[in-house]
Each structure stands twice: as C-alpha cells, then as structure tokens.
C-alpha cells in the first residue's frame, strides 16, 4: 500500500514528496496487501484538505468511527504524518496529494480513488483558501484561484467520483461552505472567473490592466451579503478581510450542494452544505490576521452531524442548525447557469 501511496503522491506532487521524509519510520512495514484487505472491510471516506485545520480533525474522527480515511492536501509531510498516526492507532488510511489550483491534479486524484476503491461512502469537500497565494493572480488553468480551489475543483472531483459514491450502500457528501456568501454574476462581458484574453483588453485601459487593482480582481473588501440567519460575532473589519472571491466561492458550493441533492433525489446519496463555525483556530484564519473565535472541534461537530445524523439531503446548516442560505441558492436558474459554466470550465461534456 505504502508503495502505492508514495507512487500516487510522487505522481501528483513530485518535488514536494521527494523533499519530504516519510515521518513514520517503521510504519512503512505494511504491505499493499495488508491495507488492501483492511480497507475493503471498512467504509471509505475522502476528506479534502485533511492535512491540517478542521479537515484533519474530521479525518481523525472518521478513523475513530472505523472508516478507511483517504487523506488529501498538498503537503505530503503533513498528510503522511496523519496517515502514520491513524495506522499507529490501528486504523487504515492513505494519503493522496493534489493541488486544487490544477484541474489536472484533481483529475489524477479522482482517477487514483476510482482505481483504488470500489466504493466511496463519504466525501467531504473541505479544502479551502481564504485568498489566493501571494503572486497568484490566475491559475495555470486561467481561472480565478479561490473559485477554482474552493469550488470548481470540488465540483469536478464530485462529478468524477459519483460512480463510486453511487456504489456505496449509503453515501454522504458534505460541502464545507461558510456564512460568507456573495452572489455569482454570470456576465460573459465581465467574466470574473477567468483570465482575460489579450484581445479582450481595451488598449485604452491597457495601463490599468497592467497594474490590476483589488477591484479588477474582484478582491475589493466588499461586504458579502449576509445570509438570512445573520452572523453574530463577525465584525465589519473581519468581514472586509474575508473578501469577495471567497464569499462567491462559498455560495457556489452551496448552489452545488442543492443542485446535486436534487439530481440525486431517490438515490442513497445525501448531500448537504454548512457553515461549520466562525473563525476557527486554523491556518486560514491566522493568515487573514483574524483572532480565532472557535475551535476546529466545534466545526468538526457540525460536519460530523451531517455525516452521521438524520439530516436529510439538500440542506444548508449554520453549524448544528438548519438555516437559510443566501437567496441565490434557491434560484434554480442561477444553479443551472453555475452548473453549465462549471461543466464547461472543468472540461466535462455538456
């Protein structure tokens, strides 16, 4: 198994893993056959972004419930360290690296999961960034990075894994969204989601295009529209730091969950979205310079309820309680537009 994991990880991240020592020492003794037999007797869960933050806590809890956990993130070092801990505790886990700023790496991750497992019982679409990494204005796919990492990559991953989710006796998908929600404007004249093509730039505006402002990139500190149930504890200053791309990507995840729940009605797959907790003690919050107000344990409680509780499908939760999302999530036409745009951008058939 370890060979397989390492091969997959090397294939996906190459240099990252090559420079990261496998921290488990003796844990490398388990053979492919050992794990192969072990995971087959367990339900299987994939938690994206489980190398740190709330995703790590969710992965650990799923391990405690007896799941084989597929750990994902970019950091092979942190991913393999978690796998190591789970194996040491008598559980079963594998790590697969994929950078969600690359649709190719998402496809590779999906191929690895489809090839390695005959079913998937849980998919937690959790990996996320608050803002693009310094210096990254557009991804190599020519897309807005926050939209791609938080939403589009998960849309593609979910589509590619649906056959395996359908093969599970009862499957659950959870989209980890947020209270920060801003409506998506599908205006082809101003496609905020993709890098402008050269000919689209008005020569008269060339100067300003050469030095993009926060507003050009859609990162102006515009207040995301509050969902109906409000967000106590988020001050205006904090809200401004959240940013429009993040809020847009998070609402997109909710539209996706609602759309998918409708599509999967009558199947054994339940899909929900949630705001896990406000400003947990994670890297994302630390990087935004915001004082933590909650713990990853609180956020994980809310996610676990959607993974194990009697919650139905097609809902949005504010932590533990059913809540109302931004009104656009209930707009079927908006959901259709997002679905068509996403399929196009992700290179899926219409």
Is 103 one of the binding residues for ligand NAP (CB under 6 A)? Answer: no
Backbone angles phi, psi at 44, to 5 degrees: -115, 135
Is 254 one of the binding residues for ligand NAP (CB under 6 A)? Answer: no
Kindly calculate the radius of gyration of the chain based on its CA atoms and give it in whole angstroms: 20
- Residue from 2, 124, 129, 300 binding ligand NAP (CB under 6 A): 129
The residues near 195 (Cβ < 8 Å, ≥ 6 apart) are 137, 138, 142, 143
Contact between 320 and 302 under an 8 Å Cβ cutoff? The reply is yes
Euclidean distance between CA atoms 340 and 201, whole angstroms: 25
Backbone angles phi, psi at 176, to 5 degrees: -85, 100
Is 283 one of the binding residues for ligand NAP (CB under 6 A)? Answer: yes
Write the interaction track for ligand NAP spanning residues 261-280; mark x where CB under 6 A is met and - where it is not: --------------xxxxxx
Q: How far is the CB of 61 from ligand NAP (least distance, A)?
A: 14
Of residues 286 and 340, the one with the C-beta less far from ligand NAP: 286
- Residue from 139, 178, 219, 313 binding ligand NAP (CB under 6 A): 178
Q: How far is the CB of 346 from ligand NAP (least distance, A)?
A: 15
Per CB under 6 A, which region of 51-59, 83-91, 189-197, 265-273 contacts ligand NAP?
Answer: 51-59
For ligand NAP (CB under 6 A), the number of binding residues is 31
Is 183 one of the binding residues for ligand NAP (CB under 6 A)? Answer: no
- Residue from 8, 149, 234, 307 binding ligand NAP (CB under 6 A): 149
- Residue from 9, 62, 69, 176 binding ligand NAP (CB under 6 A): 176
- Residue from 43, 73, 91, 227 binding ligand NAP (CB under 6 A): 73
3-state secondary structure 267-295: CCEEEEEEECCCCECCHHHHHCCCCCCEC
Euclidean distance between CA atoms 243 and 224, whole angstroms: 8
∠ CA(226), CA(232), CA(234), 5° rounding?
Answer: 75
CA distances to 72, 177, 252, 274 from 238, in Å: 29, 17, 21, 20
Euclidean distance between CA atoms 301 and 278, whole angstroms: 13
Identify residues 184-243 at the interface with ligand NAP (CB under 6 A). none
Is 128 one of the binding residues for ligand NAP (CB under 6 A)? Answer: yes
Contact between 127 and 154 under an 8 Å Cβ cutoff? The reply is yes
Of residues 168 and 346, the one with the C-beta less far from ligand NAP: 346
- Residue from 44, 51, 123, 334 binding ligand NAP (CB under 6 A): 51
- Site residues (vs ligand NAP, CB under 6 A): 49-55, 73-75, 78, 99-101, 126-129, 149, 176, 178, 275-280, 282-285
């Amino acid at each position: 198994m370890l060979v397989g994991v390492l091969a997959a990880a090397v294939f996906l991240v190459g240099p990252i893993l090559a420079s990261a020592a496998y921290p488990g020492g003796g844990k490398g003794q388990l053979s492919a056959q050992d794990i192969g037999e072990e995971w087959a007797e367990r339900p299987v869960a994939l938690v994206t972004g489980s190398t740190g933050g709330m995703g790590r806590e969710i992965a650990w809890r799923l391990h405690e419930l007896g799941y084989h956990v597929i750990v994902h993130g970019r950091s092979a070092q942190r991913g393999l360290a978690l796998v190591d801990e789970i194996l040491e505790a008598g559980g079963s886990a594998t790590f697969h690296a994929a950078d969600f700023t690359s649709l190719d790496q998402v496809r590779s991750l999906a191929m690895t999961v489809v090839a390695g497992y005959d079913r998937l019982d849980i998919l937690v679409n959790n990996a996320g960034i608050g803002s693009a990494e310094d210096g990254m204005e557009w991804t190599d796919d020519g897309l807005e990075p926050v939209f791609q990492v938080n939403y589009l990559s998960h849309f593609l991953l979910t589509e590619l894994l649906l056959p395996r989710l359908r093969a599970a006796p009862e499957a659950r998908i959870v989209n980890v969204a947020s209270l920060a929600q801003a409506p998506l404007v599908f205006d082809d004249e101003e496609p905020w989601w993709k890098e402008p093509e050269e000919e689209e730039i008005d020569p008269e505006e060339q100067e300003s295009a050469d030095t993009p402002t926060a507003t050009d990139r859609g990162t102006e500190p515009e207040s995301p529209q509050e969902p109906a149930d409000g967000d106590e504890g988020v001050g205006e200053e904090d809200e401004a730091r959240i940013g429009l791309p993040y809020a847009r990507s998070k609402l997109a995840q909710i539209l996706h969950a609602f759309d998918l729940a409708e599509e999967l009605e009558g199947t054994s797959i339940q899909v929900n979205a949630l705001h896990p907790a406000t400003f947990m003690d994670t890297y994302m919050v630390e990087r935004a310079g915001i004082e933590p107000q909650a713990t990853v344990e609180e956020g994980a409680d809310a996610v676990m309820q959607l993974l194990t509780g009697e919650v139905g499908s097609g809902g949005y939760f504010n932590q533990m309680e059913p809540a109302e999302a931004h009104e656009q999530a209930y707009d079927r036409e908006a959901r259709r537009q997002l679905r068509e745009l996403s399929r196009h951008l992700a290179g899926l058939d219409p």
